[in-house]
Structures are given as C-alpha cells and as structure tokens.
Structure 1
Amino acid sequence: MNITRENSDALNAVVKVEITKDDYSDKVEKVLSDYRKSANIPGFRKGHVPMSLVKKQYGKAVLVDEVNKLLQDAIGKYLVEEKLDVLGNPLPKPQDDLDWGADAFAFEFELGLAPEFDVKLKGKKAITHYNIIADDKMINDQVKHLQKQYGKLIPQEAIDEDSEITGKFSNEEEGVENVATLSLDKIKGKANTKKLVGAKVGDIITLKTKGLFDNDHDLMTYLKVAHDDAHGLDIEVNFEVSEINKRELADLDQELFDKLFGKDVITSATELKERIKADSEKQFAQQGDQKLLNDVTEYLIDSTKFDLPAEFLQKWMQTSGEEPMDEEQAKSEYEKSEKGIRYQLIEGKIIQENNLQVQFEDLKAYAMEMIKGQMAQFGQMNPTEKELEDIAARILSNQDEVKRLSEQLMSQKLLNFYKTEVNLKTKEITYDDFVKEFYS
C-alpha cells in the first residue's frame, strides 16, 4: 500500500491511496473460506461447496468490503501519523470507471485542512463584566412579594387598586375561555383599570387584549392562547368577575422567617433582606458570567482572522447529515454554522495551548460537588464521601450525562481562564437595568 498527499493550497489537499493484491488477498481468502464453511447452496453439502462457486457468488462483494475496510483504516492511521488537523471527514472522489476485476486499485480523497492562526486574548478595548446587584427597591419588592404570598385573603365587595381578582376571560369566536387570578396592578392602561375599579362579583367587563399587559406573553398565562397568537393579539374579551379579594400582608415576624428558611435561621427583617440580597446576587452572577462568555466569544470570533476551506465544507455537509442536501441547502447551512465552526477552532486552540482539557478526576470532583449541593437543598447537609462517590459513579456511567457535565465544566474552565487573561473591566449594574439594556 502506498499513500501520497498533494496540497492544493494551505486549506485543501488530496490524498491518494494505492492498494495492491498483496494488501487484500489474504483477508479476502479468509472471509471466503469462512463463507464456504457455512454456505447453504442447493446440491452441495454444507462445507463442501466448491471455492470457485463461492468466489463467483460472493467474491466481488467481499473484495469491495475488505478494500473499503483497508481504506478507512489506512486513512485514519495516515491522518494520525502525519498529525494532520482536518475539518469534517475525508471525501472520496467519485470513480465511475473503477474496475473491480483488476489486481490493484487507486483511490483519492479530498481533505479540508484546519487553518493556522494565532489567538489574541487581550484586545485594546476592554470587555465589560457586569456585576449585577440587587438594589433596595428590588429587595423591598421581594419582601413585599413574600408578605403577599404568605398573607391572608380578605374578601371585598368591589374591585379597588389593591385587589386580587379571579374571573373568566372569554371570546367565543376566538376560542378563548380561561379562569385566571391576577392582581389589578397587572392590568395596564388607565382606560382598562378604570373599567375594572368598582366592579363587583358577577359583573362582565369588555377589555381589549392589545396593551392589556406589559408583555404579550402574559396573554398566554391569563387567556391560555398559543405563543404565536399572543404576539400582537388585538381582540376584545369579556372578563366575568367571580371573586374579589385583598391580600393582607403577613407580618415580618419569626413565624414568617421560620416558614421561609427553617427555625431560627433568620431572626430579623434586616437578616431577611441580607439573605434575599445574597441569594439574588448569587443567581445574577451566573447571568453576568453568561453575558461575559457570550461577549468574549463574539470578540474572539471577530478579532481572530483566518480562512476556512468553505467549498470543501459545503461539499462535506451535503452528505454528512441524516438527510442529504443539495448545493444550495449546503451553502445556506454553511453560512449559518460558519461562526460556530470558527469558534470551535479558536476554543480548541485555547484549550490545547493552555492545558484546559477536562480530565476524569476533574469531572468526578465536579459531579460530586454538584450532587452535594443538590442534597443540601433537601436537608442532607453532611453526606459521606462514599455516598457522593457512589452517586457520582452512577451518573458518570451514563454517556449522555458525561457529555453534559463535561460541557458545563469546560465552560466553567474557559470562563475562569477568560476572567484572568482577557482585557476586562467591571461595571456594577442593577438587575432591572441589566434586563432593560440587554433583554428588553
């Protein structure tokens, strides 16, 4: 067997594999001999079928199969030995005139080569890492929400601005019929609130859905309409009032604190606010980190310049998926996935050059820490090392879980690396302002 390579350019190459009879004949003979032992052909006893007949019936199929096995094995070893970093998989060049009756064969494979490039981690312009804080307004709102949640419902005769209302939204023509409970402050627009204030049980109020709530998604909650229908929905609905209550706030006392966090964990309103702030900012930190990860990813893609073997990748995409694609479909798919391909290459280089690979011991420790946190949520504060190891072993025996946890751990490793190596600046921002700026 002889393998040669010719580089078309820095990103494309053709590998030629020449196979002679000596490479495959022994393997083909062995397979045919095994066939002969087990072949059931009318007129011959099992194991006594003439080899010439076995070759005539199975010879070409066995030859093709063994040659293909040789090819796959040879190409795989060649890529490893030559340390070739390829994109996609080698693509065999079509050979319509291949003569399987010959003793020797030659096959050609197209390769898409990974580009050479350098990653510049520190840009001139600093990337912002947002430190999201819970401000006094948010903490006080959360305290009030908890007081409402654990407070008492007091029946009212008529709706006022502090009422909690239960009623049925309906529009027969549009198929809307849903009973919902909401506070009056959920309703937007003076015209709408004016219609509701003063209404009593049994009253039917006609409301327009456009601008009824701050967010069209609330229509999904209160009217039970589909997501696509909720956006821009502009119809009239009847709201029949069935219950009116006012929620009396729960006292900020030890009884409430114990209900929320367990006996004597929190003993004052000040401690409650401190706990709300700490818990909230712990969650916000994850959102700030995710924003940082996204921004660093965008920076790296934009600042790291290199070409890709686009034509090869589009050709590879035509046959690599579950469903074959034509040229136009592959071109469209490539354009959608090009950024992702670029970042995979950049990320791979960063991981390799900085030894950030996920090792099994790292994964095991990460899984055990995650399990420990989950057990603490259910009151199991001091699990033994053996308990943690046994649960981790069960989780890590599942390949899907291994893949999921490995991706999480790698993201964490990269995030920690970026925090120390990328040019960053920290900006303090309230959660409300963070949401308005990036998600509104």
Structure 2
Amino acid sequence: MNITRENIDELNAVVKVDIAKEDYSDKVEKILSDYRKSANIPGFRKGHVPMSLVKKQYGKAVLVDEVNKLLQDAIGKYLVEEKLDVLGNPLPKPQDDLDWDSDAFSFEFELGLAPEFDVKLKSKKAITHYNIIADDKMINNQVDHIRKQYGKLISQEEVSKESEITGKFSNEAEGIENVATFTLDRLKGKSNPKMVIGTKVGDVVTFKTKGLFNDDHDLMTFLKVSHDDVHGLDVEVTFEVSEINKRELADLDQELFDKLFGKGIVTTVTELKEKIKADSEKQFTQQGDQKLLNDVTEYLVENTKFDLPATFLQKWMQTAGEEPMTEEQAKEEYEKSEKSMRYQLIEGKLIQEHNLQVQFEDLKAYAMEMIKGQMAQFGQMNPTEKELEDIAARILSNQDEVKRLSEQLMSQKLLDLYKREANLKTKEITYDDFVKEFYS
C-alpha cells in the first residue's frame, strides 16, 4: 500500500491511496475459505462447495468490504502519523469507472485542513466584567416579599388597595377561562385598580387586556395565554371576584429567622439583610460571569482572523448528517454554523496552549461541590464526605452526565483563564440596571 498527499493550498489537500493485491488477498482468501466451510448451497454437502462457486457468489462483496476496511484503517493511521489537523472527515472522490475485477486500486480523498492562527486574549479596549450588587431597594423588597410570603391571610368584605384578590378571567371567543390570584399593584395605571376597589365577592368587572398589567407577561400567567398570543392582545375580559383577602405581614422575629435559615443562624434584621445580600450576590456572580464569557467569546471570534476551507466543509455537510443536504441547504447551514466552528477552533487552541485539561479528580471535586450546593438549597447544610462521594459516583457513572459536567468545568477553566489573561475592567452595577441594560 502506498499513500501520497498533494497540498492544493494551505487549507485543502488530496490524499491518494494505492492498494495492491498483496494488501488484501490473504484476508479475502481466509474469509472465503470460512464461507466455504459453512455455506449451504443446494446440490453440495456442507463444507464441500467448490471454491470457484464460493468466489463467484461471494468474492466481489468480500473484496469490496475488505478494501473499504483497509482504506478506513489506512487513512486513520495516516492522519495520526502525519499529525494532520483536519476539519470534518476525509471525503472520497467519486469513481464511477472503478473496476473491481482489477488487482490494484487507487482511491483519492479530499481533506479540509485546520488553519494556523494565533489567539490574543489582550484586547486593546478593555472588556467589562460586571460586578452585580444587591442594593438597598432590592434587599428591602425581598424583606417585604418574605413578610408577605410568611404572613397571614385575613378575609375582607370588599376590595381595598392592599387586597389580594382571587377571581376568574373569561372571554369565550378567545377561549380564556382561568382562575388567578394577584395583588392590585400588579395592575397598570390608576384606572384599572379603581375598577376593582370596592367590589365584593360575586361582582364582575370588565377589563381591556391591553395595558392591564405592568408586565405584559402577567397575561400569560393570569389569563393562561400563550407567549406568541400575549403580545399585542387587545380584547375585553370579564373578571368575577371569588375571594378577597388582606395579607397581614409576618413579624421579623426569631421564629421567622429560624424558619428561613435554621436555628440561631440569623438573629437580627441587620443580619437578615446581610444574608439576603450575600445570597443574592452569590447568584448574581454567575450571571456576571456568563456575561463576561459571552463577551470574551464574541471578542475572540471577531478579532481572531483566519480562513476556513469553506467549499470543502459545505461539501462535507451535504453527507455528514442523518439526512443528505442539497448544495444550497449545505451553504445555508454553513453560514449559520461558521461562527460556532470558528469559536470551537479558538477554544481548542486556548485549551492546548494553556493545558486546560479536565482530569477525573477535578471532575469528581466539581460534581461534589455542585451536589453540596444543591443539598444546601433543601436545608441539608452539612452532608458527610461519604454522602457526597456516593452521590458523585452515581452521577459520574452516567456518560451523558460526565459529558455535561466536563463541558461545564471546561467553561469554568476558560472563564478563569479570561479573568487572569484578558484585558478586563470591573464595573459595579445593580441587578435592576443590569437586567434593564442587557435583557430589556
């Protein structure tokens, strides 16, 4: 067997594989001999079928199969030995005139080669890393929410500004019929709350859905309308009052603190607010880090310049999936996924250059820390090392979970690298301002 390569350019090459009779003949003969021993052909005893008949019936199929196995094995070894970094898989060139009655064969494969490039983490313009904080307004709102959540409901005769009302929204034509509970501060403007204040159980009020709630997404919750239908919904709905309550706020006392955090962990309102602030900002850290990860990724893709073997990749995409694609479909798919391909190459380069490997011990420690955090959410604050190890062992026995956690851990390693090496500036921002700036 002889393998040669012709480089078309820096990103494309053609590999030629020449296979001689001696490369496959012994294997083919052995397989045909085994067939002869077990073949059931009418008119011949088992094991006494003439070899000429076996070759006539099975010879070409066995030859084709063995040559294809040789090809796949040879190409795989060649790519490893030559240390060729290829994109996609080698594509066989069509050979309509291939003569399987010949003794020697030649095959050609197109290769798409990975580009050479450098990755520069230090941008000229600093990338912002947002430090999201819980301000006094947010903390006080959270305290109010806790007091409402753990407070007592007191039945009322009629609706007041402070009421929590339950009733049924209806519109037969739109298929709306849903029971909902809400406070009047969810209603938008001044006229909507006024229409309800003073009503009693059994009274019916007619609302317009447009501008009914401060947040249009409340229509999804309270009227059970789909996300696609909720935007721009402008119809009338009736609301029949079925229950009126006023919520008496819970006292900020030791009984409430113990119920929230465990006995004696929080003992004063000041400590409560400090705990809310610390817990909130711990969660916000993840959102700030995710924003940083997204921004650095965007910077790297936009500023790391290299070409890709686009024509080869589009041709490869036509046959790589479960369903074959047309040339036009493959071109469209390539355009959608080009940015992702570029980042995968950049990420691979960073992982290699900075030796960011995920070792099993790292993965185990990461899984145990994740489990510990999840258990804490359910009040299990001090699990034993053995408990954590046993749960981690069960999780890591599932290959899908191993893949998912490995990807999460690698993202964390890349994030740590960006924090060390990238040109960053820190900006403090409240959670409300962060949401308004990036998610409104």
2:303 maps to: 303
1:379 Cα shift? 4.7
SS in 2 for 1:240: strand
What secondary structure, in the 3-state scheme, does the structure 1 residue paired with 2:239 have? strand
Q: Which moved more, 1:37-46 or 1:402-411?
A: 37-46
Match of 2:330 in 1: 330
Aligned to 1:98: 98
Corresponding residue SS for 1:306: coil
Report the 3-state secondary structure (helix = DSSP H, G, I; strand = E; otherwise coil) of the residue aligned with 2:367: helix
User: Which amino acid in 1 is paired with 2:321?
Assistant: G
Structure 1 residues 182-197: aligned runs within 5 Å: 182-197=182-197
Give the structure 1 partner of residue 41 of structure 2. Answer: 41
In the alignment, the residues of structure 2 paired with residue 91 and residue 18 of structure 1 have an alpha-carbon distance, to the nearest angstrom, of 16
Within 1, Cα distance between the matches of 2:401 and 2:31? 40
Q: Is the 8 A contact 1:314 1:331 kept in 2?
A: yes
Q: Which stretch of structure 1 is more off in the superposition, 339-348 or 357-366? A: 357-366
Code of the residue aligned with 1:8 in structure 2: it is I
Deviates most, 109-118 or 41-50 = 41-50
User: Structure 1 residues 304, 18: CA separation in 2 closer, same or farther (over 3 Å shift)?
Assistant: same
State the secondary structure of the residue aligned to 1:167.
strand
- Match in the other structure for 1:17: 17
Q: How does 1:59-208 map to 2 (within 5 A)?
A: 59-208=59-208
Per the alignment, residue 213 of structure 2 pairs with: 213
* Closer/same/farther in 2, CA of residues 32 and 225 from structure 1, 3 Å limit: same
Paired residue for 1:2? 2
Secondary structure of the corresponding residue to residue 23 of structure 1: helix
3-state SS of paired residue (1:202): coil
CA distance in 1, matches of 2:152, 2:378: 28
Q: Which residue of 2 aligns with 1:276?
A: 276
Equivalent in the alignment of 1:358: 358
- 1:255 corresponds to which residue? 255
1:380 positional shift? 4.4
CA distance in 2, matches of 1:35, 1:370: 56
| C-alpha separation in 2, matches of 1:23 and 1:324 | 33
Give distance in 1, aligned partners of 2:248 and 2:12.
Answer: 73
How far is 1:383 from its partner? 4.1
* Separation in 2, partners of 1:11, 1:420: 33
Q: How far did residue 378 of structure 1 move? A: 4.3
Contact 1:216–1:232 under 8 Å retained in 2: no
> TM-score, normalized by length of structure 1?
0.97
Aligned to 1:264: 264
Q: Which amino acid aligns with 2:107?
A: F
Q: Superposed, which structure 2 residues align to 1:268-417 within 5 Å?
A: 268-417=268-417
> How many residue pairs are counted as aligned between the two chains?
440
Offset at residue 392 of structure 1 (A) = 2.3
Find the aligned partners of 1:379 and 1:142 in 2 and give their Cα distance: 20
- Deviation, 1:375, is 3.6
Q: Secondary structure at the match of 1:4?
A: strand
- Counterpart in the other structure of 1:431: 431
C-alpha distance in structure 2 between counterparts of 1:377 and 1:47, whole Å: 71
Matches of 1:28 and 1:171, distance apart in 2 = 76
User: When the two structures are superposed, what TM-score results if normalisation uses the length of structure 2?
Assistant: 0.97
Q: Deviations over 1:134-188 (max 9, x none)?
A: 0000000000000000101111222222111100011011111000101111111
Q: CA deviation at 1:370?
A: 2.1
> SS of 1:246's equivalent?
strand
Cα distance in 2, alignment partners of residues 216 and 316 from structure 1: 46
Match of 1:26 in 2: 26
User: How far apart are the structure 1 equivalents of 2:198 and 2:222?
Assistant: 21
Q: Which amino acid aligns with 2:354?
A: N
5+ long unaligned stretches in structure 2? none
Percent identity reads 85
Shift, 1:35, TM fit: 1.6
Task: Name the SS for the 1:74 alignment partner.
Answer: helix
Unaligned runs of 5+ in 1: none
Q: In angstroms, what is the RMSD of aligned CA positions?
A: 1.3
Change (3 A) 1:262 1:380: closer
The residue aligned with 1:243 is: 243
2:419 aligned residue: 419
* Post-superposition CA distance 1:211-267 (Å, at most 9, x none): 222333222211111221122212111111111111110010111111111111111
